[in-house]
């Protein structure tokens, strides 16, 4: 098989590979749990990156996947307020009223775990709370539909419908993705779509669901740093992400700590 064909295929993970995905997923979730108390007014996104990097490398003995991925310069993504995704940690100081997405991907034993969630700095505004909650609902609606025989178009449609029913919008330029030995592999998991279309799910597939939901219009702009994606209208944007396994009977969320809620 040629390399391009191998990259295009949707991989079905073996039991052994799934066991490794569970470990990587748990480690990624654990980083989000660890960083929670550090998200306080006055800290910089660069400091959050440093703390996560050191934890992943020194405590988890794992690899932060974003670092040097296609030239990304840091170990985590920090996307504040109107930043949609792929925010680069740096000098930005977090202030009361800010909200941010922290996106963690770790590699352990060659397999990836990818998860992100929203954090509030101090008390959130009503629109911030609302969009964070809506994007979480969108992710959960998608996750709940994952089972053998479901189609990706149905999942995308349900996510899109929920966001738009609340007069918010789904970002289209970025999507969820297959994941395993490779950070971002087939299939593309769009957070919008048409019922009855798209890939039919089978046990052993692993992919992320990570809807980006905007308070305003769906359009985005890429900043000159080549990574940071912002809303064109500067409206707030929120995102949550989990790595999901399709099982014989439904799904398993891989990026969860035992006993934790999704």
Three-class secondary structure of residue 155 per DSSP: helix
Residue whose CB is less far from Co ion, 98 or 241: 241
Per CB under 5 A, the segment of 111-119, 124-132, 152-160, 194-202 that binds Co ion is: 111-119
Query: Could you tell me which of 255, 230, 96 has the C-alpha nearest to residue 179?
Result: 255
Q: Which is nearer to ligand MF3, 66 or 193 (CB)?
A: 66
Q: For ligand MF3, which is the closer residue by CB, 73 or 97?
A: 73
Binding residues for ligand MF3, rule: CB under 6 A, are 66, 69-70, 72, 77, 86, 103, 105, 114, 208, 210, 227, 241
Q: Does residue 119 contact residue 146 with C-beta atoms inside 8 Å?
A: no
Q: Using CA atoms, how far apart are residues 106 and 179, in angstroms rounded to an integer?
A: 11
Return the number of the residue (66 or 142) whose C-beta is nearest ligand MF3: 66
Q: Given phi > 0 = left and psi -120 to 50 = alpha, else beta, which region is 227?
A: alpha
Among residues 255, 253, 207, 260, the alpha carbon closest in space to that of 102 is found at 255
Query: Rounded to 5 degrees, what are φ and ψ at 54?
Result: -65, -40
Looking at beta carbons only, is 208 or 231 nearer to ligand MF3? Answer: 208
* List 114, 158, 238, 255, residue binding Co ion (CB under 5 A): 114
Partner in contact with 49, chosen from Co ion, ligand MF3, none, beta carbon below 5 to 8 Å by kind: none
Task: Kindly determine how many residues on this chain lie close enough to bind Co ion according to the rule CB under 5 A.
Answer: 5
Least distance between Co ion and beta carbon 171 (Å):
13
Could you say which of Co ion, ligand MF3, none residue 66 binds, taking C-beta under 5 to 8 angstroms by partner kind?
Answer: ligand MF3
With CB under 5 A as the contact rule, the residue among 101, 208, 231, 237 that binds Co ion is 208
Query: Among 123, 116, 121, which Cα is nearest to 101's?
Result: 116
Length of the chain: 262
| 185 is an interface residue for Co ion by CB under 5 A | no
Rg, C-alpha atoms of the chain: 17
* DSSP character at residue 203: T
Residues near Co ion (CB under 5 A) are 103, 114, 116, 208, 241
């Amino acid at each position: 098989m040629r390399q391009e064909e191998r990259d295009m295929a949707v991989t079905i993970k073996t039991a052994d590979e799934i066991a490794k995905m569970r470990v990587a997923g748990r480690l990624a979730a654990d980083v989000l749990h660890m960083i929670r108390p550090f998200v306080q007014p006055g800290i910089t996104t660069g400091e959050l990156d440093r703390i996560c990097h050191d934890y992943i490398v020194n405590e988890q003995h794992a690899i932060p996947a974003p670092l040097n991925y296609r030239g990304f310069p840091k170990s985590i993504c920090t996307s504040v307020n109107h930043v949609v995704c792929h925010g680069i940690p740096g000098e930005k100081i977090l202030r009361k009223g800010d909200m941010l997405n922290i996106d963690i991907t770790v590699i352990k034993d060659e397999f990836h775990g990818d998860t992100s969630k929203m954090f509030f700095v101090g008390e959130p505004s009503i629109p911030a709370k609302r969009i964070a909650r809506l994007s979480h609902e969108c992710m959960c609606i998608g996750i709940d539909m994952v089972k053998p025989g479901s189609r990706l178009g149905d999942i995308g449609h349900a996510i899109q419908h929920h966001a738009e029913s609340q007069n918010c919008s789904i970002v289209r330029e970025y999507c969820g993705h297959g994941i395993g030995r490779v950070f971002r592999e087939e299939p593309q998991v769009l957070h919008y779509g048409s019922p009855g279309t798209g890939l039919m799910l089978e046990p052993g597939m692993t992919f992320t669901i990570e809807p980006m939901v905007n308070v305003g219009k769906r359009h985005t702009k890429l900043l000159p740093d080549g990574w940071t994606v912002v809303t064109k209208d500067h409206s707030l944007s929120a995102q949550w992400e989990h790595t999901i396994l399709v099982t014989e009977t439904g799904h398993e969320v891989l990026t969860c700590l035992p006993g934790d809620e999704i």
